[in-house]
Protein backbone atom coordinates (compact mmCIF):
# COMPACT_ATOMS: atom_id res chain seq x y z
CA UNK A 1 0.00 0.00 0.00
CA UNK A 2 2.79 2.47 0.86
CA UNK A 3 4.45 1.84 -2.51
CA UNK A 4 1.44 3.24 -4.34
CA UNK A 5 2.66 6.77 -3.59
CA UNK A 6 6.07 5.92 -5.06
CA UNK A 7 4.37 4.53 -8.15
CA UNK A 8 2.31 7.69 -8.60
CA UNK A 9 5.44 9.80 -8.19
CA UNK A 10 7.30 7.72 -10.79
CA UNK A 11 4.36 7.92 -13.19
CA UNK A 12 4.30 11.72 -12.88
CA UNK A 13 8.06 11.86 -13.41
CA UNK A 14 7.79 9.60 -16.45
CA UNK A 15 5.09 11.71 -18.09
CA UNK A 16 6.94 14.93 -17.31
CA UNK A 17 10.27 13.66 -18.68
CA UNK A 18 8.66 12.29 -21.84
CA UNK A 19 6.75 15.53 -22.40
CA UNK A 20 9.85 17.68 -21.87
CA UNK A 21 11.99 15.45 -24.07
CA UNK A 22 9.41 15.30 -26.84
CA UNK A 23 8.90 19.05 -26.96
CA UNK A 24 12.65 19.72 -26.93
CA UNK A 25 13.45 17.22 -29.69
CA UNK A 26 10.43 17.91 -31.91
CA UNK A 27 9.67 21.60 -31.72
CA UNK A 28 6.47 23.17 -32.99
CA UNK A 29 4.09 20.41 -31.90
CA UNK A 30 0.82 20.89 -30.06
CA UNK A 31 2.63 19.80 -26.88
CA UNK A 32 4.66 23.02 -26.82
CA UNK A 33 1.82 24.72 -24.96
CA UNK A 34 2.78 22.71 -21.87
CA UNK A 35 5.78 25.03 -21.43
CA UNK A 36 3.35 27.76 -20.34
CA UNK A 37 3.50 26.08 -16.92
CA UNK A 38 7.23 26.82 -16.62
CA UNK A 39 8.38 29.40 -19.19
CA UNK A 40 11.70 30.01 -17.43
CA UNK A 41 12.70 26.37 -17.87
CA UNK A 42 11.72 26.56 -21.53
CA UNK A 43 13.88 29.64 -22.06
CA UNK A 44 16.85 27.85 -20.51
CA UNK A 45 16.36 24.42 -22.11
CA UNK A 46 15.11 25.35 -25.60
CA UNK A 47 18.52 26.47 -26.93
CA UNK A 48 19.93 23.04 -26.04
CA UNK A 49 17.24 21.28 -28.13
CA UNK A 50 17.88 17.63 -28.87
CA UNK A 51 21.09 17.57 -26.80
CA UNK A 52 19.00 17.78 -23.63
CA UNK A 53 15.79 16.30 -25.10
CA UNK A 54 17.30 12.86 -25.68
CA UNK A 55 18.46 12.50 -22.04
CA UNK A 56 14.96 13.51 -20.90
CA UNK A 57 13.47 10.78 -23.08
CA UNK A 58 15.96 8.27 -21.64
CA UNK A 59 15.08 9.43 -18.13
CA UNK A 60 11.41 8.86 -18.92
CA UNK A 61 12.16 5.38 -20.22
CA UNK A 62 14.17 4.57 -17.09
CA UNK A 63 11.41 5.77 -14.79
CA UNK A 64 8.83 3.81 -16.78
CA UNK A 65 10.94 0.66 -16.42
CA UNK A 66 11.18 1.24 -12.67
CA UNK A 67 7.44 1.83 -12.47
CA UNK A 68 6.64 -1.35 -14.35
CA UNK A 69 9.08 -3.38 -12.24
CA UNK A 70 7.59 -2.02 -9.03
CA UNK A 71 3.98 -2.44 -10.10
CA UNK A 72 4.11 -6.11 -9.16
CA UNK A 73 4.53 -5.26 -5.47
CA UNK A 74 1.49 -7.32 -4.48
CA UNK A 75 3.24 -10.56 -5.39
CA UNK A 76 6.01 -9.89 -2.90
CA UNK A 77 8.88 -9.92 -5.38
CA UNK A 78 8.28 -6.51 -6.93
CA UNK A 79 8.15 -3.15 -5.28
CA UNK A 80 11.77 -2.97 -4.17
CA UNK A 81 13.02 -2.03 -7.64
CA UNK A 82 10.81 1.05 -7.52
CA UNK A 83 12.54 2.26 -4.37
Can you give the pTM of this predicted structure? Answer: 0.68
pLDDT tops 60 at residue 32: yes
Least confident of 8-12, 15-19, 26-30, 51-55: 8-12
pLDDT band at 36 (very low <50, low <70, confident <90, very high): very high
Q: Where are the domains of the chain?
A: 3-70
Of the candidates 71, 70, 73, the one whose C-alpha atom is nearest the C-alpha of residue 81 is 70
Which of 12-16, 22-26, 58-62: highest mean pLDDT? 22-26
pLDDT band at 47 (very low <50, low <70, confident <90, very high): very high
For residues 7 and 19, the answer to whether their CB atoms sit within 8 Å is: no
Q: At what angle do helices 3-25 and 50-70 cross, to 10 degrees?
A: 160
Amino acid sequence: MELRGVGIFLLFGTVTAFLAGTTLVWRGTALDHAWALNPRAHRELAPLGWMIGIPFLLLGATLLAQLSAGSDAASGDGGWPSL
